[in-house]
């Protein structure tokens, strides 16, 4: 550990940030996910979810405490804090209402404008309605009709990042040692200052974070790190405990000289390495090394040429893992959003605002070459509760004579989609697919964005669901895959603060996975449900042809 002493200037040892230290990014004291970063969704989230939740907790802290310990209510809007922290939460409410008063006014004005446009726009020109746009939104919105003459308010999202709606001063980062996997659910519980945590009160785009996280690989002077992070005297003891002498980095294995190495880091996080490049998909890295065989920060390549993000949900766009990797990533590849649509915020704009230097947007079937390989974006259907969200893609990584589809939570109703992918790409060797076939209702993640309340019946019908057994088998069959791995099931213990999943032994998701694995094994296809960690190494001779294993012709109907 770092040398102790009372003189701050004496701490000159080279140290590295411990691998069991997490950095939770925050906006106004709440975990930063995409909707907390994008200015208009963030305003709606504060006004519609965060403030009401905190006020509910202050009025009845014991009710929240009881509900938070009820497994059946996991993922609900119940604040999960140790002891009675109602005074601290009340203080956060006052701070939020003061610092984010403009955001709250914008949220109120947007709801008012949505109502006006919905009631007054009947197909005639919208020009007169511009006089009714509230001052907080003028110059930031456009009023439009769709092809069915339904009116809506279009947001000029790029301008919102350049307006007072985007407040970097609300951002911060909490650093702490992860003693166990249990952490409060990010969508229901604010993060309070407290024992064991060091809060860095500067924007998440700040380059000092790169210097801090880079010390995991390249140790630096403790005194320099402490001074750069502007650590107070009161927090220095805790800050010092976050570091170790030297470096905890280790070689994750021999360099890949031929073929391809694919390592599963849990949930949707997969690292692909060839002799020419290293890629990471949907990073979510455990901060508890050496536990139950999981991979951690020390197992990552020092350089990640590409980071591929499939979509913006909080378990795929995970800033807790993305920010520590910012200095290692050559370019982040993201799906293109639908401009101006509030429920479809731009991943590129958010990441650019957060200091990522190279962000590449792709549409389905855009190709990105790397070395002798290629990254191809492919369509992503479903999982977004029938909302018109376009910022979602799957990826085919074609490298070292291996073609791998990372399908994330995609769930296509028609097998013709995979016929078209097959026609464009050719046969897929390996499919990674998600089977959360009974997801949360639309209001769970998107409720704060609706201009009008949604009926319970409608909300429960429209779910955030991935592939069911039929859809999964169609994906495997129609792409010609001979290896199939089920991932993205939210069951790794270190991501419960992100996911709050509540599976039981015989639930519908587990039954669907078992059905697919049994059918794959019956047909001679290599299939497995992934959990915790896994490493695959394939060379060019390991490529299989679907017909050779008794696989059906991809053009034959199921």
Residues 319 and 198 in one domain: no
Q: For residue 6, is it within any domain?
A: no
Q: How many residues does the chain have?
A: 558
Q: How many CB atoms lie within 10 A of CB 312?
A: 24
- 484-509 pLDDT, tens per residue? 999 999 999 999 999 988 777 789 99
Report pLDDT for 179: 92
| Interatomic CA distance for residues 387 and 385, integer angstroms | 6
Residues 230 and 327 in one domain: no
Residues 188 and 312 in one domain: no
Report pLDDT for 195: 82
Sheet holding 30-31, edge to edge: 30-31, 21-27, 171-177, 198-200
Q: For residue 556, is it within any domain?
A: no
Q: For residue 255, is it within any domain?
A: no
Residues 452 and 526 in one domain: yes
Q: For residue 424, is it within any domain?
A: yes
Residues 342 and 208 in one domain: no
Residues 224 and 346 in one domain: no
Residues 327 and 399 in one domain: yes
Q: Which residues of the chain carry a pLDDT beneath 70? A: 1-12, 250-253, 540-558
Q: For residue 91, is it within any domain?
A: yes
Residues 303 and 443 in one domain: yes
Sheet holding 269-273, edge to edge: 359-362, 329-335, 304-308, 278-281, 269-273, 260-266, 534-538
Q: Is the dihedral of CA 38, 40, 41, 42 positive or negative?
A: positive
Domain that holds residue 130: 101-160
Report pLDDT for 272: 97
Q: For residue 557, is it within any domain?
A: no
Final residue before a domain boundary, out of 245, 273, 307: 245
- 347-395 pLDDT, tens per residue? 999 999 999 999 999 999 999 999 889 999 999 998 998 999 999 999 9
Q: At what angle do helices 469-479 and 416-425 cross, to 10 degrees?
A: 30
Q: For residue 250, is it within any domain?
A: no
Residues 224 and 125 in one domain: no
Q: Do residues 535 and 261 touch, judged by C-beta distance below 8 A?
A: yes
Report pLDDT for 246: 78
φ, ψ dihedrals at 348, nearest 5°: -65, -45
**What tokens appear for 88 in the block?**
């601290």
Residues 213 and 331 in one domain: no
Q: For residue 428, is it within any domain?
A: yes
Strands, E assignment, 178-328: 198-200, 220-221, 243-245, 260-266, 269-273, 278-281, 304-308
Q: At what angle do helices 469-479 and 508-522 cross, to 10 degrees?
A: 30
Domains identified in the chain, total number: 3
Angular region, 490: left φ>0, alpha ψ -120 to 50, beta rest: left
Q: Residue 411: give its domain's CATH number.
A: 3.60.15.10
| Interatomic CA distance for residues 21 and 286, integer angstroms | 10
Residues 78 and 105 in one domain: no
Which residue's structure tokens are 């709801």? 111
Q: Which residues contact 7 (CB under 8 A, 6 or more apart)?
A: none
Final residue before a domain boundary, out of 120, 139, 160: 160
């Amino acid at each position: 550990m770092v040398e102790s002493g009372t003189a701050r200037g004496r701490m000159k040892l080279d140290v590295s940030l411990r691998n069991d230290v997490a950095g939770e990014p925050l906006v106004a004291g709440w975990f930063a996910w995409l909707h907390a970063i994008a200015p208009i969704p963030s305003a709606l989230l504060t006004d519609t979810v965060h403030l009401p939740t905190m006020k509910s907790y202050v009025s009845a802290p014991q009710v929240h405490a009881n509900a938070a310990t009820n497994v059946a209510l996991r993922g609900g809007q119940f604040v999960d804090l140790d002891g009675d922290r109602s005074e601290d939460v009340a203080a956060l409410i006052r701070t939020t209402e003061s610092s984010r008063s403009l955001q709250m006014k914008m949220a109120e004005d947007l709801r008012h404008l949505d109502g006006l446009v919905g009631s007054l726009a009947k197909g005639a020109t919208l020009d007169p309605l511009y006089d009714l746009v509230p001052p907080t939104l003028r110059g930031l919105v456009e009023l439009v009709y769709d092809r069915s003459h339904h009116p809506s308010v279009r947001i000029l999202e790029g301008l919102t990042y350049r307006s007072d709606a985007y407040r970097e001063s609300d951002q911060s980062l909490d650093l702490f040692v992860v003693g166990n996997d249990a952490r409060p659910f990010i969508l229901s519980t604010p993060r309070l200052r407290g024992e064991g945590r060091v809060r860095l009160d500067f924007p998440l785009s700040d380059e000092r974070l790169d210097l801090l996280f880079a010390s995991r690989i390249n140790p630096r002077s403790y005194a320099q790190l402490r001074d750069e992070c502007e650590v107070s005297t009161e927090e220095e003891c805790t800050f010092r405990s976050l570091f170790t002498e030297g470096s905890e980095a280790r070689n994750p294995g021999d360099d890949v000289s031929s073929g391809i190495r694919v390592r599963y880091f849990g949930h949707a996080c997969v690292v692909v390495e060839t002799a020419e490049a290293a890629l990471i998909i949907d990073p979510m890295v455990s901060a508890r090394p050496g536990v139950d065989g999981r991979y951690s920060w020390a197992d990552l390549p020092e350089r990640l040429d590409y980071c591929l993000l499939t979509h913006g949900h909080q378990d795929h766009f995970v800033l807790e893992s993305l920010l520590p990797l910012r200095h290692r990533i050559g370019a982040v590849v993201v799906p293109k959003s639908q401009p101006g649509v509030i429920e479809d915020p731009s991943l590129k704009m958010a990441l650019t605002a957060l200091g990522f230097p190279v962000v590449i947007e792709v549409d389905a079937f855009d190709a990105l070459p790397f070395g002798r390989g290629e990254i191809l974006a492919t369509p992503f259907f479903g999982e977004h509760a029938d909302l018109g969200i376009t910022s979602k893609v799957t990826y085919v990584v074609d490298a070292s004579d291996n073609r791998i589809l990372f399908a994330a939570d995609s769930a296509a109703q028609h097998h013709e989609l995979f016929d078209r992918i097959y026609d464009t790409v050719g046969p897929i060797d390996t499919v990674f697919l998600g089977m959360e076939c009974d997801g949360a209702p639309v209001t769970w993640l998107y409720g704060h964005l609706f201009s009008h309340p949604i009926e319970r019946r409608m909300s429960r019908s429209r779910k955030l669901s991935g592939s069911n057994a039929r859809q999964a088998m169609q994906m495997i069959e129609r792409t010609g895959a001979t290896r199939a791995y089920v991932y993205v099931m939210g069951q790794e213990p270190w991501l419960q603060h992100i996911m709050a999943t509540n599976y039981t032994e015989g639930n519908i998701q587990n039954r669907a996975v078992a059905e697919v694995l049994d059918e794959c094994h019956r047909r001679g296809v290599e299939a497995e449900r992934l959990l915790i960690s896994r490493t695959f190494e394939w060379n060019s001779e390991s490529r299989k042809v679907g017909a050779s294993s008794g696989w059906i012709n991809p053009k034959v109907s199921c």
